[in-house]
Structures are given as structure tokens and as C-alpha cells.
Amino acid sequence: MERGFTVDYAHGMVLQSTWHAGEPTEAKLLGFIGGLGVESDRHSDPKIISYRCPECHLLLNYTT
């Protein structure tokens, strides 16, 4: 298994979540760190597909 995190790009919109490999690193602007979220590339990160069991409600996530 590879470690990663789920990315949410929504800012007033509803978007499909993606998965990004590795540890989250804070995004920088002009070399400063400050409340900009985490670095990621929404165009190359795989989208997450979820499946839910209607009986036990188990939720499984897979990337495309």
C-alpha cells in the first residue's frame, strides 16, 4: 500500500475528490507558508470512486 491523502479542491463548488501520494506539504506563495492549503496537482492526481454496502454501510474508496 502507498501512503497518501485525499484532496478537496472545492471553493464554493462541488468537485470529485482526488488522491495524492505522499505526505501533505503546505503550499507556498513567494516562499512563505501561510494558509494556502497543500501542494497537489489536480490534473494528474487520480479521482476517487466510492462504493457503499447498502446493508452494513461499509464505504470503500478506490482511485481510477
What is the number of domains present in the chain?
A: 1
Give 1: exposed, middle or buried? Use CB within 10 Å, 0-12, 13-18, 19+: exposed
Rounded distance between C-alpha atoms, residue 19 and residue 5, angstroms = 6
What would the pLDDT profile of 14-61 be if each residue is shown by its tens digit? 878 888 887 877 776 665 656 667 777 677 889 999 999 999 999 999
What cell numbers appear for 20 in the block?
495524492
The pLDDT, as a whole number, for residue 1 is 82
Q: Are 5 and 17 in contact (CB under 8 A)?
A: no
Cα angle at 38 between 33 and 39, to 5 degrees?
Answer: 100
Only one residue has cell 462541488, namely 14
Please state whether the predicted TM-score (pTM) of the whole model is above 0.85.
Answer: no
Q: Which domain holds residue 25?
A: 4-63
Higher pLDDT, 5 or 4: 4
